[in-house]
Amino acid sequence: MRNKGALILLALIATFILAACGGAPAAQPTTAPAADATTAPAADATTAPAVDATTAPAAEGELAVGIVLPTKDEPRWIQDETRFKDALTEAGYQVEILFSEKDSAKEKANVESLLTKGIKVLIICPQDGAAAAASADAARAAGVKVISYDRLILGTDAVDYYVTFDSFAVGAQQAQYLVDKATGTGNPLYLYAGAASDNNAFVFFGGAWSVLQPKIADGTFVIKNSSEAVALQDKAELTREEQAKIIGQVTTNWDFNTAKTLAEANLTSAAAADKGNVFILAPNDGTARSIADTFASDSDVTSYLVTGQDAEKASVQYIIDGKQAMTVFKDVRTLVTDAIAASVALLEGTTPNATGSYNNGKIDVPAIQSSVISVDKDNVKAALIDSGYYPASDFTNLP
Residues 6+ apart with CB under 8 A from 262: 192, 250, 251, 252
> Segment 245-264, which members bind ligand BGC (CB under 6 A)?
254
Residue 189 β-bridge partners? 223, 279
CB of 294 to ligand BGC, least distance (A): 18
Residue 365 β-bridge partners? 358
DSSP-derived 3-state class of residue 88 = helix
> Segment 132-161, which members bind ligand BGC (CB under 6 A)?
150-151
Q: Are the beta carbons of 194 and 251 closer than 8 angstroms?
A: yes
Q: Are strands 187-191 and 301-306 parallel, antiparallel or unpaired?
A: unpaired
From first CA to last CA, the distance across the chain in angstroms is 38
110: contact with ligand BGC by CB under 6 A: no
Distance CA 34, CA 169 (A): 10
76: contact with ligand BGC by CB under 6 A: yes
224: contact with ligand BGC by CB under 6 A: no
Choose the binding region for ligand BGC from 39-47, 92-100, 193-201, 386-394 (rule: CB under 6 A): 193-201
Q: Which of 100, 162, 160, 161 is nearest to 131 (CA)?
A: 100
200: contact with ligand BGC by CB under 6 A: yes
Distance CA 375, CA 385 (A): 12
Tally of residues, the chain: 399
Choose the binding region for ligand BGC from 82-90, 194-202, 225-233, 342-350 (rule: CB under 6 A): 194-202
DSSP-derived letter for residue 72 is S
> For residue 214, which amino acid is it?
P
Among 104, 284, 290, 327, binds ligand BGC (CB under 6 A): 284
CB of 191 to ligand BGC, least distance (A): 17
CB of 131 to ligand BGC, least distance (A): 14
With respect to ligand BGC, which residue has the nearer C-beta, 66 or 308? Answer: 308
With respect to ligand BGC, which residue has the nearer C-beta, 298 or 310? Answer: 310
With respect to ligand BGC, which residue has the nearer C-beta, 16 or 254? Answer: 254
228: contact with ligand BGC by CB under 6 A: no
Choose the binding region for ligand BGC from 25-33, 87-95, 192-200, 257-265 (rule: CB under 6 A): 192-200
DSSP-derived 3-state class of residue 146 = strand
Q: Which residues of the shown chain bind ligand BGC in the complex (CB under 6 A)?
A: 74, 76, 150-151, 194, 198, 200, 254, 284, 309-310
